[in-house]
Amino acid sequence: MKNFKLFSPTDYRYGVDELIDYLTEESFIKYKIKVEISLLETLYDFKICPKYVVDEVKNASKKIKAEEIYREEKRIKHDIRALVNVLKKYVSEKSKPFIHLAATSYDIVDTARSLMLKEATEKVIIPDMIELEKIFIKLARKEKNTLQIGRTHGQHAEPITFGFFISLYVERWGERILKVKETKDNLKGKFSGAVGCYNGLRLIVKEVEKFEKKLTEKLNLTPSRISTQILLPEPMVDFTHSIISSFSVLANFSDDMRHLQRTEIGEVGEPFEKKQVGSSTMPQKRNPINFENVKSGWKTFMPRIITSYMDQISEHQRDLTNSLSQRYIPEILVIFDSSVRRIKKITENITVDKKNLKRNFDISRDKVIAEPLQILLSYYGHPEAHEKVRKLAMKSYQKNIPLTEIIFQDEEIKKYLKKFKPEQIEIIKNPEKYTGIADKKVEKICNLWEKKMKEIQNGKC
Amino acid sequence: MKNFKLFSPTDYRYGVDELIDYLTEESFIKYKIKVEISLLETLYDFKICPKYVVDEVKNASKKIKAEEIYREEKRIKHDIRALVNVLKKYVSEKSKPFIHLAATSYDIVDTARSLMLKEATEKVIIPDMIELEKIFIKLARKEKNTLQIGRTHGQHAEPITFGFFISLYVERWGERILKVKETKDNLKGKFSGAVGCYNGLRLIVKEVEKFEKKLTEKLNLTPSRISTQILLPEPMVDFTHSIISSFSVLANFSDDMRHLQRTEIGEVGEPFEKKQVGSSTMPQKRNPINFENVKSGWKTFMPRIITSYMDQISEHQRDLTNSLSQRYIPEILVIFDSSVRRIKKITENITVDKKNLKRNFDISRDKVIAEPLQILLSYYGHPEAHEKVRKLAMKSYQKNIPLTEIIFQDEEIKKYLKKFKPEQIEIIKNPEKYTGIADKKVEKICNLWEKKMKEIQNGKC
Amino acid sequence: MKNFKLFSPTDYRYGVDELIDYLTEESFIKYKIKVEISLLETLYDFKICPKYVVDEVKNASKKIKAEEIYREEKRIKHDIRALVNVLKKYVSEKSKPFIHLAATSYDIVDTARSLMLKEATEKVIIPDMIELEKIFIKLARKEKNTLQIGRTHGQHAEPITFGFFISLYVERWGERILKVKETKDNLKGKFSGAVGCYNGLRLIVKEVEKFEKKLTEKLNLTPSRISTQILLPEPMVDFTHSIISSFSVLANFSDDMRHLQRTEIGEVGEPFEKKQVGSSTMPQKRNPINFENVKSGWKTFMPRIITSYMDQISEHQRDLTNSLSQRYIPEILVIFDSSVRRIKKITENITVDKKNLKRNFDISRDKVIAEPLQILLSYYGHPEAHEKVRKLAMKSYQKNIPLTEIIFQDEEIKKYLKKFKPEQIEIIKNPEKYTGIADKKVEKICNLWEKKMKEIQNGKC
Amino acid sequence: MKNFKLFSPTDYRYGVDELIDYLTEESFIKYKIKVEISLLETLYDFKICPKYVVDEVKNASKKIKAEEIYREEKRIKHDIRALVNVLKKYVSEKSKPFIHLAATSYDIVDTARSLMLKEATEKVIIPDMIELEKIFIKLARKEKNTLQIGRTHGQHAEPITFGFFISLYVERWGERILKVKETKDNLKGKFSGAVGCYNGLRLIVKEVEKFEKKLTEKLNLTPSRISTQILLPEPMVDFTHSIISSFSVLANFSDDMRHLQRTEIGEVGEPFEKKQVGSSTMPQKRNPINFENVKSGWKTFMPRIITSYMDQISEHQRDLTNSLSQRYIPEILVIFDSSVRRIKKITENITVDKKNLKRNFDISRDKVIAEPLQILLSYYGHPEAHEKVRKLAMKSYQKNIPLTEIIFQDEEIKKYLKKFKPEQIEIIKNPEKYTGIADKKVEKICNLWEKKMKEIQNGKC
């Protein structure tokens, strides 16, 4: 049964089940134990501890529950020492001294945190992002020739295609996937001790940097080139930035889709389940609640970057004012991933309403020729084409005669029209053809990102 | 048993038990039902529904579990409609139509949210804040004559007393208590329907504003003077601001205390339990972990104000992009309260180390007379006293002769010293007396706030 | 000639001329001199300095240029000492010692800052805000009966009136004016010296708090009850919050108006000058550039609240990490005021397009009766009115028969319709009448705020 | 003469002269003209316009003043159209039509902005950053063996060297230089027209992407792979992030140095000019005003990232709510660069006080051996070394006997001490040797970054 005696909506409402094995407190403890084991394995590699110690601790690790460690922490007020105490309880007297040997708490904590975030990103976040990218690609291709009026300032501008609109998200989202990938790969491990000089380790090991490298590589991490008691903060702030700037892309997409769903526009429709209720008093309504939810999630977690920037400041060899704050980093990933999944699900089944797309385009069908006209007039030598077309547009508006008609009556314009090539005249007469290279661009972008997604999935990129 | 399969540290680590009855999801549902009952009571007052409906729903409300409502929501994708459906299941056929009659979801949700935040603040947050204020007052009075070197730019400046330093927090914290009180009292209820014009209610009730007033007053809330589908956002952003700006006061106090606890300064000491472990590798250490924790909490939740400002924007009669975000408001209160309690507990038992206070003051004992000297020289007519004293200070520094000695040798100064009154000479000779009205100010501030705290507790303020 | 060799758009593009006398660096210096003069006047009141000193400095102050002080600062690296040095140059030898006597720099700086912000707010900001409020009131009243479809989630909901929509801003903006007024009145002065204990002043004056009160009251400020070297930060953060939360109201209004101006909606139109160019290539366009500008200004300056919260933290008796940051506070006022003026100018001449309002309402004319129908069905005892209406709405949608017709054919509904009162039937048949108390609410809100604005202007509030 | 009738401190106080040619409004106009010229050159390359047009406009560009364009903008309310109008005034009738041909305003504006930021970064920001890096390297090497007590939680921990402390900034700052370099190189140009499909250009040019590539490459920019009316926002947000996260490194350094400058610590000293005044009333003071200034600048501009994230959202093919906000981006660079220069100047002349470093270390000289002792005890098989040492430390504290003595008296410890190697005993007796590989790490880090800096300067990286 789910628990509702909780304060945080992340747990009672928005959590992603697939992330439980990576980003909960229980998993964090699991990762910390994993680092302690790597330490023992490296001690063994360096011939400092016997093999049985490693084995005993591995066995012990299976029996330990978060609960027990928390109980010990309550007693001694130190989380890592609590973990160490509990581990020691489960091993032989001879093994005890090797546990946590020469380590400082944050050798374990920071390395474990890098590990948990990296694995969650590799196993869940990036795969989810890739799936969404594929849906974007599919949709862009499918609608690459679907005419849509382009909008700037919320005003009709020149025509594009719906697929072209989507392909912009193919590009932006693709780039963010690469950025997330790059920054998670840059999360580091450390084993440099209480102030970063390997003071303790150096007592018992000569090649301390080699030791650190070996230990972190067992966890598929690279060691930080230098560190204090804690890891340098920049890899983490870059990682946070990559997630939040990706979240912004979803927020932009959500805003776009919300507005395209407006009653008066109606170019897209969020899928709606049969039993779903749109409003408690207005049963006719179909609200874009999923896009609204994603925007709201972005508004809630985007400002967390401020925390990350503040966490770049840690006095001297570290102060602890980043302890609570860092514990909240996994949550950003959870809500981000929950939003990715939401957008994926909705976009997969989105309705593109071609009738409305056409209807909306037709509102401005006539007016959009102002731009090509002005360009062609200039091209053929008109010195003030912009001003000329502006006046014609005004006249069209005032006299209520279509611009497409007025221009063929205007004496000055007629002289220029004679110079136009047939395909140029064609566009002036059929503004729906004025879509530039929309379709080709869609193909180009989609092909590129389809290829890159494959490369990532095959581990080549 | 505590659950550690959670993403949010708010629940697995920092939650405050006393707030569970107010700020969890389960409580929120309880508050929403409370609003639905107030609606029925008002309908009864206006002779629209019979008394038994109220009774039936009150009985039903005792049986309902969050779980059940969540199950229904999953089916129909609408949280308030789910609540209504579940309520209906537990009442007679004749009562059903009155439940939620003429209400829109957010009449219930927004009113319930105001209620939950207001009650949590009244019953837990403010009482906790007052207790901390009392501890500040006690400490300020106790140490009102304890000499401390004042510090500006981290440099020794002129003397104050430790009690004076604390009395600044008495004042700042006191003012924030008043601000929190004022803004929580300004949280409103609403019953104006789907777009704010009481469109639905007006069908069945003539005096709709009176109806709304009655309904909200049953909950000890005042109605919003006007609203859309949702409450106006400003009372909420003012409330959030009051909490966050209070949190900043704690953050400042924490920073001050952390620095006073530095090894080289050592003027205060965070109490340390016998079994507590300071560091996993440096057993000698006593770290200011509680003050660090509070600073870290502030860093994490302070930026949330950005979310509140963004939530001031809701398109037209509302968009839903404030739904997820508003669900996270209670969490801010939880971490804030947890910090108040932490500071309270630590400050109550703080060690003020008079030996170190004295030692630190003595470092600058000689130098602090530069200021009074300069003022008195000016007062007695020296045209360039500041420059004169600066040079003397330099000379003292270079020749390594105390300023207190040098001045009594300087011919120019001697002429002025003759004019000094005895109490002025006294201060030049005994810089520890140069504390202005530190002690009197402490009394004045403490008396004032002691009185105000009593007034708040007696409900007079 | 204007200077464009500037980095900040605040000066080369968005500045408000009327604020130059209050919020520029030159004015700040003027205010600092004003505080120095108040000090001398108070010294005179306390019989410490002769009258001629005050007069000499007053005369000197007229001759001093910012340039000269900056030159001196460059030499000695201290801004206030530079000011004092320059002042001294212009007075007699006998007057020199009294200048800045017993003052610390921030007695002058902080008091001058409060003064400059307070006066700018009183003389320019609030009057501008009031003018905008009056325009809102006028527009709300004018359009109080103009039917508009209410929108929630960007979807048509139930009808309101355009005046009702505006009256929400009357209320929100009115409340923010009160908040700005309250917080600017709470900005304080101080004269408590280098560490806040009046250490220096106490050497020469017995009643130091009385002295401070007198000095600040000469400047129409109240003294801070207690202070360190600097003023307590909370009054400033409250003031910043009041400005930024007001800015958010403008941002919301701008978003609303931008969307109402969308090509497909067209309910309002930003006034457009004859020579104005909408787009460099699309001469037909009329973009809501002013509303976009205001939103952009909000995005740029709203996050500055974070700086204010961080400035609540100043170590011990102060550190200087709030010096640069506080110099940027006036800029927030400038851009805010520039936005107020922009909105004022645009809204004054806004076009409300009744044809489009009607057209848009008609899209949903039929569907909006779902809500009143559901409420009335419940009212007359239907146990599942919501579900019943939902199904009818679906049927209407699928069969393409208006809901208004279908309901009069449905056997189950017919039974209930018989119980409806004539005015209830009237609404079901004429959904444009389903506007609740929109018109009355407009009058109520406008009357209230009209009265309050007068009170503020008459200094009664 | 400098102007002080300005609102923004960026111009009247903190501006960097070397950036005037890049980041002022005047320069921005210069860059926009540069883009217009590139357009004409490309039109010439594609045989659309004659050579003399390019030449005429190049000549015209030398005569144009910002003032004139602003006057025209005031008339027609459109900045780019104003620029085009003014350019046309200076060329022959035949050249007029080619100016701005097929361009939309933001083809020019966005490309020019990328260009200005890129060039400012290349010519001023990065060279300044590199100079600071070199100073860090020099200082780190110089002090690589200077003993310093490491501090965690503001408490003495284990020893490091002052050079090691600095080498952490060598690493962090070096990495940020690479990040800034990478993100400025990623700033793009565009020439895809009003909605991004090259609609207009396609009328007169077949290979539009080739055209765009040629045009942007003339400016040393790469074209955006796809765009709307404006550039994709992500390269800009990544760039802003790189600057702000670099600023955070300076803020951390400033905090560290401020605290090391505390009266009680005094390990470093900000250089102080002879005429400089530390305090207006306390002539003895030497405040870390430059480090405070940098921290304050960070507090003011760091939150601007929020604006950048919000600017990632632009509706459909663009809304204009990023116009004002983007104009404020150069200012972030100005204050950042001003801070880099400040830190550079101060750090170059910083005083490292070895006497105080030694004195501070000696406070904890005895206690620091707790860690090596515990590690070695564990290493030699003690099952509860941590607990054992904790008790010894307590005993030492209570009995006031040095830990270094107590351990040689403790029977249990003695047994283990026998196993210690000489170099291990050496450290227990001489804690100043307990600095791990501090010195070697310094060399390694400094060599690495020295090499990289050279590579960047030689354009190899």
Q: Per-residue pLDDT tens for B135-186?
A: 999 999 999 999 999 999 999 999 999 999 999 999 999 999 999 999 999 9
Quote the pTM value.
Answer: 0.97
Q: Poorest-confidence range of B31-45, B230-244, C405-419, D230-244?
A: C405-419
Answer yes or no: are the C-beta atoms of B261 and D136 closer than 8 Å. no
Delimit the CATH 1.10.275.10 region(s) of chain C: 16-98
Higher per-residue confidence, D101 vs A275: D101
Select from A437, A439, A440, A442 the residue whose CB has the most chain D CBs within 10 Å, as the one to mutate to test that interface.
A437
Section D120-144 average pLDDT: 98
Q: What is the pLDDT of residue B3?
A: 84
Q: How many other CB atoms are there within 10 angstroms of residue D355's CB atom?
A: 9
Q: Which residues of C are catalytic?
A: 153, 279
DSSP-derived secondary structure for A369-383 = GHHHHHHHHHHTT-T
Section A281-310 average pLDDT: 89
Chain D residues inside the 8 Å CB shell of A318: 152-153
Q: Which residue, B44, B99, B39, B54, is CA-closest to C382?
A: B99
Section D181-194 average pLDDT: 98
Select from B304, B315, B324 the residue whose CB has the most chain A CBs within 10 Å, as the one to mutate to test that interface.
B324
- Alpha carbon B350 to its chain centroid, in Å, reads 21
**Nearest Cβ partner of A393 from C264, C283, C289?**
C283
Q: What is the pLDDT of residue C395?
A: 87
Q: How far apart are CA D323 and CA C290, in angstroms?
A: 11
Chain C residues inside the 8 Å CB shell of A151: 262-263
Mean pLDDT of chain D: 94
Catalytic residue among A78, A153, A296, A316: A153
The pLDDT tens digits for A61-73 are 999 988 999 999 9
Section D147-165 average pLDDT: 97
Q: What is the pLDDT of residue C396?
A: 87
B325 backbone dihedrals φ, ψ, rounded to 5°: -60, -40
Q: How far apart are CA A116 and CA A31, in angstroms?
A: 7
Average pLDDT across each block of 10 residues of chain C; the chain has 461 residues. List them in order. Answer: 87 96 97 98 97 97 91 90 94 95 97 98 98 98 98 96 98 98 98 97 97 98 98 98 98 98 94 60 71 98 98 97 97 98 96 96 94 94 89 86 91 94 94 97 98 93 66
Q: How far apart are CA C198 and CA C227, in angstroms?
A: 10
Round the CA-based radius of gyration of chain C to a whole number and report it: 30
Answer yes or no: are the C-beta atoms of A348 and A270 closer than 8 Å. no
DSSP-derived secondary structure for C18-40 = GGHHHHSHHHHHHHHHHHHHHHH
Q: How far apart are CA A132 and CA A174, in angstroms?
A: 10
**Nearest Cβ partner of A154 from C151, C153, C259?**
C259
Contact C194 B371 (CB under 8 A): yes
Q: Which residues of D are catalytic?
A: 153, 279
Is A153 one of the catalytic residues?
Answer: yes
Distance to chain B for C217, nearest Cα, Å? 20
Contact D370 B287 (CB under 8 A): no
Place of tokens 């550079």: D344
Contact partners of B by the rule of 3+ C-beta pairs under 8 A? A, C, D
| DSSP 8-class letter at C402 | -
Q: What is the pLDDT of residue D386?
A: 86
Contact B154 D283 (CB under 8 A): no
**Nearest Cβ partner of C283 from A158, A282, A370?**
A370
Which tokens in the block code for residue A115? Answer: 């590990």
Q: Is the dihedral of CA D337, D339, D340, D346 positive or negative?
A: positive
Is B192 one of the catalytic residues?
Answer: no
Q: Is the dihedral of CA D300, D301, D307, D309 positive or negative?
A: negative
Catalytic residue among B279, B296, B382, B386: B279
Mean pLDDT of chain A: 94
Q: What is the pLDDT of residue B397?
A: 80
Contact D282 B371 (CB under 8 A): yes
Section D15-40 average pLDDT: 97
Contact D437 A209 (CB under 8 A): yes
Annotate A162-231 with three-state secondary structure.
HHHHHHHHHHHHHHHHHHHHHHHHCCEECCCCCCCCCCCHHHHCCCHHHHHHHHHHCCCCEECCCCCCCC
Q: What is the pLDDT of residue B272?
A: 66
Answer yes or no: are the C-beta atoms of B119 and B236 closer than 8 Å. no
Q: Which residue, B152, B183, B182, B178, is CA-closest to B165?
A: B152
Chain A residues inside the 8 Å CB shell of B251: none
Is the model's pLDDT at A278 over the cut of 60?
no
DSSP-derived secondary structure for A403-420 = HHHHHHH-HHHHHHHTTS
Q: What is the pLDDT of residue D330?
A: 98
Element (H, E) at C181: helix C162-185
Q: What is the pLDDT of residue B1?
A: 52
The pLDDT tens digits for B253-298 are 999 999 999 999 999 988 766 566 555 555 556 789 999 999 999 9
C105-272+287-359 CATH fold: Fumarase C; Chain A, domain 2 (1.20.200)
Contact partners of C by the rule of 3+ C-beta pairs under 8 A? A, B, D
Q: How far apart are CA A260 and CA A255, in angstroms?
A: 9
Answer yes or no: are the C-beta atoms of C13 and D25 closer than 8 Å. yes
In DSSP terms, A94 is beta-bridged to: none
Contact A375 C286 (CB under 8 A): no
Q: CATH for D365-433?
A: 1.10.40
Chain D residues inside the 8 Å CB shell of C194: 279, 281-282
Quote the percentage of chain B above a pLDDT of 70.
96
**Nearest Cβ partner of D309 from A229, A244, A437?**
A244
Q: Is the dihedral of CA B371, B375, B381, B383 positive or negative?
A: positive
Contact B281 A193 (CB under 8 A): yes
Contact D203 A237 (CB under 8 A): no
Class of domain C16-98: mainly alpha
Please report, as a single letter, which amino acid is at residue C273. Answer: E
The pLDDT tens digits for B74-115 are 898 888 999 999 999 999 999 999 999 999 999 999 999 999
Section A37-56 average pLDDT: 97
Q: Are strands C351-352 and C268-269 parallel, antiparallel or unpaired?
A: antiparallel
Q: What is the pLDDT of residue B318?
A: 96
Section D143-152 average pLDDT: 98
Q: What is the pLDDT of residue A242?
A: 98
Delimit the CATH 1.10.40 region(s) of chain B: 365-433
Contact B321 A295 (CB under 8 A): yes
Answer yes or no: are the C-beta atoms of A357 and A147 closer than 8 Å. yes
Is the model's pLDDT at A442 over the cut of 70?
yes
Element (H, E) at D309: helix D304-310
Q: What is the pLDDT of residue A287?
A: 86
Chain D residues inside the 8 Å CB shell of C9: 25, 324, 327-328
Contact C436 B202 (CB under 8 A): yes
In DSSP terms, B156 is beta-bridged to: B151
Is the model's pLDDT at A270 over the cut of 90?
no
**Nearest Cβ partner of A152 from D198, D229, D427?**
D229
Q: How far apart are CA A440 and CA A446, in angstroms?
A: 10
Q: What is the pLDDT of residue B271?
A: 74
Q: Poorest-confidence range of A126-140, A287-301, B377-391?
A: B377-391
Chain B: residue nearest D158 by CA? B282
Distance to chain B for A371, nearest Cα, Å? 32
Chain A residues inside the 8 Å CB shell of B75: 275
Burial class from Cβ neighbours inside 10 Å (0-12, 13-18, 19+) for residue A409 reads: exposed
Chain B residues inside the 8 Å CB shell of A26: 4-5
Q: How far apart are CA A57 and CA A59, in angstroms?
A: 5
Quote the percentage of chain B above a pLDDT of 90.
88
Is the model's pLDDT at B398 over the cut of 80?
yes
Delimit the CATH 1.20.200.10 region(s) of chain B: 105-272+287-359
